[in-house]
Amino acid sequence: MLAFALRRLVQAIGVMLVVSLISFVLFRFVGDPVNQLVGVDTSPEERAALREALGLNDPVLVQFARFIGKAVQFDFGISYQFKQSVAGLIGQRLPATLELSFVSALFALLVGVPMGVYTGLYRDTWLARAFLAVSLIGVSLPTFLIGILLIFVVSVNLGWLPSFGRGETVRVFGSWTTGLVTASGLQSLILPSITLGLFQMTLIMRLVRGEMLEVLRTDYIKFARARGLSRRAINFGHALKNTLVPVITITGLQIGSIIAFAIITETVFQWPGMGLLFLQAVQSVDIPIMAAYLLLIAFLFVLINFLVDLLYVAVDPRIRIGEATR
């Protein structure tokens, strides 16, 4: 078990190194950093001095090592655009994105799994068919369209929920602000979460349904019936648990994508998260923010995958033993 975790950790570090390389190359070679920093009337001597001061004349390897050294300490330099430390900027925006992603993942799971189980168990009822039809919409409609539709119907026409922003936030500790404890914060969360989570929800629902249909045909389910176990024990104990491994995989991967692709939802709802920051950075070629964002998203992906691997082991004993005896 420990060896398994360690091996995964080494792999994770490898992935992070490769991503930092890409991020570094982006930082160093897309455009000239000095040009981004100074005005048009700066003399060539001053430029050369700045270049030397920034260490841009050092060998590439030394620069890369320095980049990694600083990245490990969360130092990604100064944003060209805001003239503030990138770490600070991201630190302010991170809570908004994480809260939004967490709530939409929760929504996707809590709604998607039961719907999947239901459509798997009672696949010929009209409700199951209705779920499937709705899921088709969720899979095929693009996120921004869903967001705009929701704003149009719920915010503009019905006036029930706010159409943009995070509502009132409360500082919890450090720079972490949360909208989860105020009424307006929670209200503001609803539409963006649904928008961001709808695709994942339908994906999970279809996945659970497919897995349920498969598992219900297996011999051990037939044997469980022959043993006279109750429907509940069979459906939720024996069948559902066997569908979990693929569901955990997909959910894990999807949480990564939710965080990474919150960009669109954040734009539609003017959600003050990292995605919006990233988009502003792209528009003004703010390389330090882009590089840091890339690293952060890669880190989250790697972290989530690592946790998913550990979860497998908790759910499926065969994986555990397979590792121990190999």
**Residues that bind another protein in the complex, under the rule CB under 8 A:** 218-220, 222-231, 233, 237-238, 241-242, 315-318, 321
Residue 160 or 223: the one with the smaller Cβ distance to another protein is 223
Residue 14 or 237: the one with the smaller Cβ distance to another protein is 237
Q: Rounded to whole angstroms, how far apart are CA atoms 298 and 278?
A: 14
Residue 76 CB, nearest approach to another protein (Å): 44
Q: Rounded to whole angstroms, how far apart are CA atoms 114 and 315?
A: 19
Residue 47 or 123: the one with the smaller Cβ distance to another protein is 123
Phi and psi based region of residue 184 (left: phi greater than 0; alpha: psi -120 to 50; beta: remaining): alpha
Q: Are 171 and 81 in contact (CB under 8 A)?
A: no
Type of residue numbered 313: V
Residue 218 or 284: the one with the smaller Cβ distance to another protein is 218
Residue 153 CB, nearest approach to another protein (Å): 41
Residue 171 or 222: the one with the smaller Cβ distance to another protein is 222
Please give the structure tokens belonging to residue 265: 């939802």
Torsions phi, psi of 172, nearest 5? -95, -60
Q: 42 by DSSP, 3-state: which?
A: coil
How many CB atoms are located within 10 Å of the residue 188 CB? Answer: 24
Residue 241 CB, nearest approach to another protein (Å): 5
Residue 196 or 224: the one with the smaller Cβ distance to another protein is 224
Residue 251 CB, nearest approach to another protein (Å): 18
Q: Which of 218, 223, 256 is nearest to 101 (CA)?
A: 256
Residue 105 CB, nearest approach to another protein (Å): 24
Q: Which of 263, 260, 258, 254 is nearest to 305 (CA)?
A: 254
Q: Which of 92, 81, 108 is nearest to 285 (CA)?
A: 81
Quickly list DSSP for 103-148: HHHHHHHHHHHHHHHHHHHSTTSHHHHHHHHHHHHHHHS-HHHHHH
Residue 121 CB, nearest approach to another protein (Å): 13
Residue 171 or 225: the one with the smaller Cβ distance to another protein is 225
For residue 114, how many C-alpha atoms fall within 13 Å in the half-sphere facing its CB? Answer: 5
Residue 247 CB, nearest approach to another protein (Å): 13
Residue 174 or 317: the one with the smaller Cβ distance to another protein is 317
Helix (H) or strand (E) holding 171: strand 170-173
Please give the structure tokens belonging to residue 59: 């060998």
Q: Rounded to whole angstroms, how far apart are CA atoms 231 and 233?
A: 6
Residue 248 CB, nearest approach to another protein (Å): 13
